[in-house]
Structure 1
Amino acid sequence: MPRPKDAFEGIYPCEFYTPEELLDPEQMYTIDEIARLLQGLDPDADVDEGTEAVLVDWAVPWVMTNADDLVIGEPPTEDDPGYYGLRTDE
């Protein structure tokens, strides 16, 4: 159900990092690690399963929206996640 804006204590701009602001150009990251970075956490920060699920819900659309600026690395094994990194001209 929609809520009026004045029902909230505060509303803020919906701004996300650009890939260049978020990712180290020399590193590759899993979706879970990108999710943490988008929240200002270390990529290896310990978060509970429920929180991680919410963070990933934000990260997946961010990756899709910024796909032109990213590269994908082949997972090391079938059971490992994919890795994403910043597209560079190299």
Structure 2
Amino acid sequence: MLLSIALFAVGSAMAGASQNMSMMIAARAVQGIGGGGILNLSEILTADLVPLAERGIYQDMLGLIWALACVLPSCVIFPSRASKLTWLV
């Protein structure tokens, strides 16, 4: 889990410091590997630590959090900055 978080953080820092599109794509690839590990390991930890009777509720909450984290930035932050966009959003 810590390795996934570290990969995600390194990928985020690389994306923030990217100077061109190729560097941004490489950074997003590193970030995606870390994010995928975080998502999978959070589901595995939930299945391992939560009793079977409560597992569905916890997995639903995790899914809701991931869905909101994907949708809210696009719906709230992106439109407010649409006039100032360059390739480095």
Higher helix share: 2
Larger radius of gyration: 2
Higher strand share: 1
Q: Normalization by structure 2: what TM-score?
A: 0.30
